[in-house]
Amino acid sequence: MPQFPSGFLWGAATAPHQVEGNNVNSDWWALEQQMPGMQRSGDAVDSYHRFAEDMRLLAEAGLNAYRFGIEWARIEPVPGEFSRAELAHYRRMVDTALDLGLTPVITLHHFTNPRWFSWLADDAVQRFQTYVRQATSILDGVEWVCTMNEPNMLALMIGMARDAQATRRTTEEWMSPTVEGAARPVLPDPDPEIGERLAEAHHAARAILKEHTGAAVGWTVACQALTATPGNEDKLREVRHVREDLYLEAARGDDFIGVQSYSSQAVDENGVVPHPQHPDNTMTGNAYRPDAIGIAVRHAWETTGHTPVLVTENGIATPDDTRRIAYTSEALGHLFAAMDDGVDVRGYLHWTALDNFEWGHWEPTFGLIAVDRTTFERHPKPSLAWLGGVARRGEI
């Protein structure tokens, strides 16, 4: 059986807006109130108050790591005014993880911004730097920090926000499929100029974190595991650069690259080929492709100049937990094969710990733990025990 190395991180991930609840000072909260047809995060799954229970369930199952975010909109609700209480809250989360034997992997920015902030503003990078400096005050003992989650997706969202109708259309398309078998449309390319600004912000944050903490620093990239149809290798390089490689190349010099992959898509002479409707498609309209993680980590390893890889998200949107176990088992097999070929992979963090608010919809269920949204009672799924067993054994 494939044997993973000692010290390998085995865990699960969440994002603050998706699990905490009542993130009223964020731009996503404002968007939820304004956009017709979008479901609202509301109380989410109340992890703001129940984080210790969530972490305990992961640790008791056998996992040794937890990726979670700190919410800028809570910490700096108005420009230049920082909440000591919120900083202390996130420090309690760090301490709880450490006390439970979970390695905290902290994300500083996971899509959401304070309502007052815009990445298009002239002082955006400086504003982000100021927030990061405040965040370093609670990161003592933290070994892993992600500056931003999926800047390629963030660049897409920022660009589309310049057109209110396009924003509505993109958001609805992004999360519209919620029934397995449905097809998912291809999203437009992210704006490279915005991508360059985010890379500048990432590098500025990296410098602050390296100065004030002992953490390994990187960012995470949404990797589509793109492949070329016959004769379209040049088109693949063109498409992949604007969608992924700009961001992977910006990770050169980082301590790690966070790879996030769920499915694979082909590229033909016209660009990315849409997933057709198929009974095997997941609740988000993605093809069932557990091999995608192997494709993604190999490409990230080469494109970043052999930067160590941390799988920061991988999973499947399905109501069938047996299918989740099958997908994850196959994915880990492909991950191990990449490692066996020399790719330096430091850990695997499953998306997600809890069924949660999936950016406008509640229906796509990725979690290892189900949550009753009326009582907030947690119900661990068999997949949590299964993954914990893999972690304890260090083998699939």
Catalytic residue among 20, 150, 244, 358: 150
CA–CA gap between residue 108 and residue 122 (Å, rounded) = 21
> Per the domain annotation, does 110 fall within a domain?
yes
> Per the domain annotation, does 236 fall within a domain?
yes
> Per the domain annotation, does 395 fall within a domain?
no
Q: How high is the pLDDT of residue 367?
A: 98
Which of the residues in the chain have pLDDT under 50?
none
CA–CA gap between residue 233 and residue 244 (Å, rounded) = 15
List, in sequence order, every residue forming a beta bridge with 369; answer none if it has no partner: 354, 380
Contacts of 11 (CB under 8 A, 6+ apart): 58, 63, 64, 65, 66, 67, 102, 103, 105, 347, 348, 349, 350
Residue with tokens 């400086």: 126
> Per the domain annotation, does 4 fall within a domain?
no
CA–CA gap between residue 144 and residue 80 (Å, rounded) = 26
Q: Which of 41, 19, 125 is nearest to 117 (CA)?
A: 125
Residue-number span of the structural domain to which 145 is assigned: 9-390
Catalytic annotation on 302?
no
List, as one string, the DSSP characters of 85-129.
HHHHHHHHHHHHHHHTTPEEEEES-SS--BTT--TTSTTHHHHHH
> Per the domain annotation, does 2 fall within a domain?
no
Q: How high is the pLDDT of residue 364?
A: 96
CATH number at residue 334: 3.20.20.80
- The pair of structure tokens assigned to 321 is 């937990």
CA–CA gap between residue 291 and residue 122 (Å, rounded) = 41
CA–CA gap between residue 295 and residue 154 (Å, rounded) = 22
Q: How high is the pLDDT of residue 209?
A: 98
Residue 315, classed as helix, strand or coil, is coil
Report how many domains make up the chain.
Answer: 1
CA–CA gap between residue 372 and residue 155 (Å, rounded) = 34
